[in-house]
Amino acid sequence: MYTSEDDERIIMKPSPYRGPRSQPRSKSSAPSEADIQKALVRYLDDAHLLWTATANGGKRDKRTAASLKAQGVKAGVPDILIFTPPPSGIGTGLALELKRPQGFGKARGRVSAHQRVWLEELRAIGWRAEVAYGLQHALEILSSAGYDLEFDTHTGANNDHHDDD
């Protein structure tokens, strides 16, 4: 079973060298929303769900931001959209807005006004729309929706995954 201690084991893996950083990231630093999303992706892919991530996060220069806006990127769209209906029968899809949990000397991530509107609008059309504070919370939400997302943190593989080769 997944425990909160697994967050650090899954998320806090050393990354390949990408050049010098202005501020080195220590093992005790809080996982970013991007770190949480990268870890969650493995669960969603292993469960063979129909889902996508939105391209809303991250810093962009003004030119790129204007181009994305012209292409229809909307502010506040949740980070993860799962089109496979929740097995629990509650909702026609599930939207997750991922936020950093409180800890490591950092405050919990905040939901913006645009994000609140999107979550409310999705609920109004029959979607389950939730805010997840960290990987463990996201997995709890998905589990309560009936998705089977067992993941073996020791081998880095879904427990249901079998090598057919």
Per-residue pLDDT, averaged over 101-110, amounts to 81
Of 32, 22, 19, nearest to 11 by C-alpha is 32
- Does residue 14 have a pLDDT over 80? no
- Does residue 139 have a pLDDT over 90? yes
Return the bridge partners of 128, or none: 94
Question: Do the domain assignments include residue 78?
Answer: yes
Question: Do the domain assignments include residue 89?
Answer: yes
Question: Do the domain assignments include residue 25?
Answer: no
CATH number of the structural domain spanning residue 101: 3.40.1350.10
- Does residue 45 have a pLDDT over 80? yes
Please give the Cα distance from 44 to 49 (Å, whole number): 6
Confidence at residue 5, expressed as pLDDT on a 0 to 100 scale: 52
Q: Is the model more confident about 7 or about 137?
A: 137
Q: How confident is the model at residue 131 (pLDDT cuts 50, 70, 90)?
A: very high
Question: Do the domain assignments include residue 77?
Answer: yes
- 3-state per-residue secondary structure call for 65-128: HHHHHHCCCCCCCCCEEECCCCCCCCCCCEEEEEECCCECCECCCCCCHHHHHHHHHHHHCCCE
Question: Do the domain assignments include residue 2?
Answer: no
Other CB atoms closer than 10 Å to residue 134's CB: what's the count? 25
- Does residue 52 have a pLDDT over 80? yes
Confidence at residue 17, expressed as pLDDT on a 0 to 100 scale: 42
Question: Do the domain assignments include residue 3?
Answer: no
Please give the Cα distance from 19 to 155 (Å, whole number): 29
Dmax (CA) of the chain: 48
What residue has token string 């939901």? 111
- Does residue 160 have a pLDDT over 60? no
Question: Do the domain assignments include residue 18?
Answer: no
Which strands sit side by side in the sheet containing 51-53, from one edge to the other? Answer: 51-53, 80-82, 94-99, 128-133
Confidence at residue 157, expressed as pLDDT on a 0 to 100 scale: 46
Q: Are 139 and 47 in contact (CB under 8 A)?
A: no
Question: Do the domain assignments include residue 141?
Answer: yes
Q: Which domain holds residue 127?
A: 30-157
**Number of domains comprising the chain:** 1
Averaged confidence pLDDT in the chain: 79
